[in-house]
Amino acid sequence: MPGPPWWSTGGKEKTNAAADGVRTEVPGADVTAVAADLASADGAEALRERVGELDILVNNVGIFGARPVLEIDDDEWRRYFEVNVLSAVRLIRMYLPGMMDRGFGRMLNVASDSAVVTPVEMVHYGMTKTALLAVTRGYAKAAAGTGVTVNSVMAGPTHTPVADFARELVGDDLPWDAAQRRFMKEHRPYSLIQRLIEPPEIGNLVVYLSSELASAPTGAAVRADGGHIDSIVPDTGHHSV
């Protein structure tokens, strides 16, 4: 059974610590920290009450974990969909109309290379990231011509809690550098950088797509995957009705 929600087990402290980090890096920054369960409508509304309107929305809520696909029950399928997909859909519905009215906005959904390279140990996770690509494309069409862009960032294996996940798969008896190499070789062999991506490497792409410089990309699945996806042109731009 899933454990208690993250925001009831240290989430507030982590959120406040992240806000303090921003204030340290950017003196004078006006930062509002809100801890809420965005997998629920009540949590999304609590965020809206504290934050109000937005010009940039980055949907980066997500859970993952290894599970043999035949052992994933209905409740776990629903939980992954509600956290990884519906959390983004709710916030897009909440904030997109205001952006369209103002004639500017940036919406980003943090997806994954797992959206198209489905990992056998995380089929339920891969499914949610595939869904985010469709969500992105659909809402980008809804915002067509308004000055609002909607894009996905397809992140590859990143040095976050994935480090703990990697150790689960390769064992904890190796030094981290060796464990990382083994994880990439055995479980992500098509990565061209053959290492975990560092969070700022994903953040740099998010910053660009959130800026006024990124006025043309929309409805796109933009890759920061370390070359793990073995294709030249992503299959995300078909002209369909």
221-224/105-112 β-pairing: unpaired
* Across 101-125, average pLDDT: 96
User: 209 with 108: CB under 8 angstroms?
Assistant: yes
d(CA 21, CA 95): 26
d(CA 175, CA 196): 15
Chain mean pLDDT for the chain: 88
Residue 241: is its pLDDT beyond 60? no
Residue 233: is its pLDDT beyond 70? no
What pLDDT does 12 receive? 87
Residue 100: is its pLDDT beyond 50? yes
* Across 77-105, average pLDDT: 98
* 156-208 pLDDT per residue, tens: 888 776 666 666 777 777 777 777 788 878 878 888 888 888 999 999 999 99
- What residues act catalytically? 125
Residue 235: is its pLDDT beyond 70? no
The topology under which CATH files domain 53-224 is Rossmann fold (3.40.50)
